[in-house]
Structure 1
Amino acid sequence: MKRKTITISSFPLFPLIIFSICGSFASSNKLDRGSSLSVEEHDSDILTSPGKTFTCGFYGLGSNAYWFSIWFADSSDRTVVWTANRDKPVNGQGSKVTLRGTGSLVLTDVDGSVVWETNTTSTDARSLELLDSGNLVLRGHDRTILWQSFEYPTDTLLPNQLLTKSKKLVSSLRGGAFYSGYFNLYFDNDNVLRLMYDGPDISSLYWPNPDFNVFGNGRTNYNSSRIAVLDETGHFQSSDQFQFNASDRGRGIKRRLTMDHDGNLRLYSLDTQSGSWVVTWQALPGLCNVHGICGRNGICVYTPEPKCTCPPGYEMSEPSDWDKGCKPKFNFTCSKSPDVKFVPLPDTDYYGFDVIYNNNASFNFCRQACLDDCSCLGFSYRESERLCFTKRSLFNGYKAPSFPGTFHLKLPISLVASLKPTRNGSDPECSGARDQLLVGSLTLYDNIGKRVRWAYLYWFASAIGVVEILVFFLSWWILFRKRDVQSTVEDGYRMISQFRKFSYEELKNATQNFKKEIGRGASGSVYKGVLADQRVVAVKRLGDVYHDEEVFWAEVSTIGRINHMNLVRMWGFCCEGKHKLLVYEYVENQSLDKHLFSGDFIEWRDRFRIVLGTAKGLAYLHHECLEWVIHCDVKPENILLDKTFEPKIADFGLAKLLQRDGGNSQFSRIRGTKGYMAPEWALNLPITAKVDVYSYGVMVLEIVRGIRLSNWVAKKVENEEQEAELTAFIREMRRRIQRGEDLGIEDLVDKRLEGKYSRKQARMLVEIGVSCVEEDRNKRPTMDAIVHQLLEIDDEPKLPESDNED
């Protein structure tokens, strides 16, 4: 394999050889045709701009995820300004970037698959160069630019980099990650530069102010050139007449304009002494003006920092992930007016999704309009202007003292009654920090009322000296106690995901000396327990394989940061000498195998939900986690079911806890269960996420058929005839799929369903299962692609009365 060459024409040959032997202390700004940059040498295999401002190469996050990126060399955090493969990180072993003889720049993963490439195939591209501007360019033999990174921005615009109608800046999904997020800076069809939230549920413009028209915002839509640029002095101007200046305007300062993950557009200047960035301009002074920042039903509040909260009667859909917003604690049905009640939320509104807009409307009219509409979730009323807005969806919620109205939230009267004790006391559901930026609290509105009452008491106490002294001492005592409790909590909990370290004695008491065993596997035994706070948990005692305490701590902290509704939640751990335990949430309905292969019956709609939920959980582990967790033991025994039969993947982190050779993708011992193990294990090939895809495929076929297909595989060593039967089954299914023939679904689907299933869904599941068990792992789909396939048929009817035909 060719590597990048360094041309230093003024140096004699001998010193050049010495430099090469010593590992090449210098770096080049040029990669010649036929040469490569290797991920294994990511610290030295780099391109550096002539002025040493920018560096290009493999940028690593987590333990095994790398991106081909450009970053500021002299910023303390090596701030990335461009990424080629932002949504598809590559492996830390075997990945490389090559300027091929065809003229295209190609990024390949460990298995040789192409992850990203330039559109310059069959060109005369001779070299790849990193310029002082931060622009990465492919040049032809006559030095013409054939391709440049400036034409394909990610979330950052550099000085003299043009933003045109064909480009946009897309935020990262969260801080410290590169994956594409939901906030965009782009030129709209009316030639106006805008910020937009483009989330999974809605799209909503929020800058410039959507309450004003184009001219009211000081813009023009007459200029169709659609071009904007930031110059070297910190002056930005756009063809729609929008412009601004950096607060430190002047030359000689390194700057970047970034679409940040929180939805705000900011201009940064680099402090060369500290290497840190200083904000010198931002589009929005308050983050609560950013749409979508708190997800569906969420409300953004200044406290004074912007934070997210759920309204009364709602709770976070996924802890620590405000993108998913809040979900109701109730099922809304079309109820008569006596069955519902409105809870007022002062100074609060949800932007958009208005059903009725009325000028000069009375409060009673507005209230009745919402009562008469089954889909109405609440109404906003502005008393001073007599304006009425009823809402069918609750997005873009915010609370601000300047808002001249009240939002009236529609709730079942039974739920409103149950909320009253919570208002009068402390909120039992109040949790610690759930996110680095946004922290929720269900009792926010009650706390506002409490602050008003305390303010009144303090005013009254100020008039009575003696009472004031008593209040002072009482306040001091409460503060002391609070600080003491806080310090204790902080010692036990990490600020991410409420992750706690337990003592061995605590878990011994919680499980009554490990009395009730509820499961056993290769990694250890699982016991049911009840914590001091009455939470029911599952406690796993790990075996002797986890002897390295340093590795255990590092890996467990990684697992603690992983959070998804289809993964069993880990609440904490214990690491005391030989005692190493993991504490998980307790899942009520046991594992999938207990239902699927026994007398218990699972309806089709639940089977499909299990298939989809499991796919979502694995896709999260494979594609979203910076640590790239590979489960390595996907099977029905490791799929737990909650009370609504929503699947939760268990043991998803234990693969990471096993020792690996140098942190690469080759595990030092075989994992998995016979019948679900991919051929890679036996062939001693590098282990990738495709081993989970194989196991998932076997499980999907089992869910459709309702029997242990994996038993056929397990017996193949003893009975060659059984092996031929399984091979013949897969081959025949594959042949029928390729020819578009009838699969004979009636003979494949579990007879216990008595024909009550969706034929279209059943056929899709068989096709997915067969594609997942391909011997060639490169032919297997990714979990992300499987999720997309399943979502397309998620709303299919489940019963044969409405689905009789193929």
Structure 2
Amino acid sequence: MNLTACMPCIVIVLLLSILLPSCASEDKLVVGKPLSPGDVIVSSDGAFALGFFSPSNSTPAKLYLGIWYNGIPKLTVVWIANRETPIIVTGRSASSAPTLALTNTSNLVLSDADGGRLVWSTNVIAGTAGFSAPSGAAEPAATLTNSGNLELRSANGTMLWQSFDHPSDTFLPDMRIRVSRGGRAGDRLVSWKSPGDPSPGGFTYGIDPVTSLQLFTWNGSSPLWRSGVWTGYRVASDFIEETGAVVLLTVLDLKDDASMSFDIRPPVTRTRYVMSYSGELVLQSWNNASLEWDELGVWPPHGCSRYGYCGAFGYCDNTVAAPTCKCLDGFAPASPEEWSSGRFSSGCRRKEELRCGDGDGFLPLPAMKAPDRFVVVGNRSLDECAAECRRNCSCVAFAYANLSSSAKGDPTRCLVWVGELIDAEKIGGNVAGSETLHLRLAGLAKGRRMGRKTLKTALLVLAGILLTCIFLLILWICIKQKRRKHRILVLGDLSDPKGFGEGSPTEGYEFPVVSFRDIIAATDNFHESCMIGKGDGQEVAIKRLSRDSEQGIVEFRNEVVLIAKLQHRNLVKFLGCCIEGDEKLLVFEHMPNKSLDALLFSATRKTRLDWPTRFNIIKGVAKGLLYLHQDSRLKIIHRDLKASNILLDEDMRPKIADFGMARMFSDNQQNANTKRVAGTYGYMAPEYAMRGVFSANSDVYSFGVLVLELVSGVKISSTYQIMEFEDLIDYVSTSVELVEGWEGKDLLDLSIVESCVSNEVLLCVHIGLLCVQDNPNDRPLMSSVLFVLENGSTTLPIPKKPVYFAHRNNEVEQGRGNSQSSKNSVTLSALDG
């Protein structure tokens, strides 16, 4: 036979065997069953496939092992094993095709020609894989997950290697891009060389290896685009107008690891970031109608946002319709001719040189993306940060941010710039990474000079003294009137029903207005050692809103109106209020046992909450909610029910508190919508957190979360002991679903094992799961919940397993055995759009 004449036929047959895979579609690769061209491994949900492929227009034909989206006509590869060592297909028979095999040493090995030349391997160190499993025991396996991750696990289930730790050009949901830390190189997305050549190209995307505070795209070692500097946020959101979805970029910053991941809500099928061969980072989503990839975002979005496009001391203004380059305040174009012709690389120069003395000052520029080439100075206050820059004559700017959500140890960070300011942008105040840049300029601190004769100066001084006295008198009168108007603004319109529910009776409120002077005297000027004061002999608790509190006049008035109107043994009793100047205070009955979370989530104090006490708390909160929803003359939706808003009196009776976010409903009103979603992550119902729709069922959901916390002693935001699950709800519902005859012992708080009543515990878990169902119509009414708690029931419906609807942006907190005192979870104050 003439092999030369048959060579084209052999190549065609081999490529067809690759492009037309066999029907085998298991999601695992096991020892003794290698993967050959034509075979594929498909994830259990059919979303991804692993196998051999050959890019179009590759000459000669090259074989790669990769993962791609399954079930779409356009081959879209998301990961490649041997992108630098392709297998050349030339004159090769199908019987000598390459294989991917899992060895007895728990390594994936890609070999050329039936185990010949080693092309690629996972290189798992022999010591980490453990010993070979005996005959009949569990064996190591490589599994393709539904998220597109190829996971290699040992016989005992230990993760040995995963493709997510070795990205190619694609960033998928649930995937993490890690920071360079502890001697480990940071992860980067690396572009293809061309559409038909998946070998590493010149463009990369990743986290800044020097500061770990910003993201870059590079062309080789030259930056092309840069994100804003991290300012301490846990989750950054970006609304995609074309699809109505929200992209959530999550930052995980731990002592030994730091990484970034993304998700999209509501879920959009087949979404990815890709570092394109043309040098752009693109967010893509598959369009089933057009059978094409839609571009949801591109970085850099325009020329003005390219790295250093506006030159030194220039910035790109992204807040205008047509983004363009401008000079920072106090600067002018270095070459007006070039700027007028649209060439900005020459940058800007100072109008007045710095003097390195008292004449220099700092001009705050809000809503900026901080420039590059900064020096990080940790653990400084705002004033200390300014002083750090002021004492260095070469310092031209500084920026300050609160990093309280960081785990590195520094609660704040100070950035200073020495030399030129490169790649600054004005991005708006609602964009992640936005902060205030304090620009150093000459002449800002100069005082006014006197240029008058001595006699004229004396006359002016006398006139000034007289005018000052008149001004102080007028100011005193204005302040008195302003205080009076402010009190009228807050309390004078309480009879106005606007904003408190249509048709709701709001007239006739009776409560005392206490003077601020009396409260100062009663609390020894709010001294920490004297938080409880003695007025007329009655112990009271005072809630003082800080001046920078996000609760404004509307929320304050809302809380005053509702608490004054509502009277129930399971609601906190309101005694009076005080409004003077910027001070807003509420006076309540004193709760000696503080809030529920101060006991429930404390390893030392939770023992005071035995099971009978917890069961009574559950029933008491249910009675309070039923009163709010049905029995009071005002139908109230609380919207922020959580453990920290449940106060306990001397007999451990629960009192629902904090009505600042509550809303009134009319008698016939079932639900309402809001663009300002307020509440606490974990306690918010899915329809409220994602669409702003709230109703009595929203409070029922929060009540269900509270019940599960009381039974388990685990905070909803905690990941301790439930790391395999999304959160506490997922953990409980999965345990109940998977274990036949489940008795709740693995969920039960250890501190109540001796005092618990099994049927009551199971009843509470059942009620809790019914209350946290995703569909609000599936949740029970509080009247039904209270009836079952009081009387028991054997005919409760089976709860539907909740769907994990949004990533929390909380820090990882300790669960059982947590010694931390009462602190709220991360609270979402406003999400507009």
Normalised to the residue count of structure 1, the TM-score between the two structures is 0.32
The structure number with the bigger radius of gyration is 2
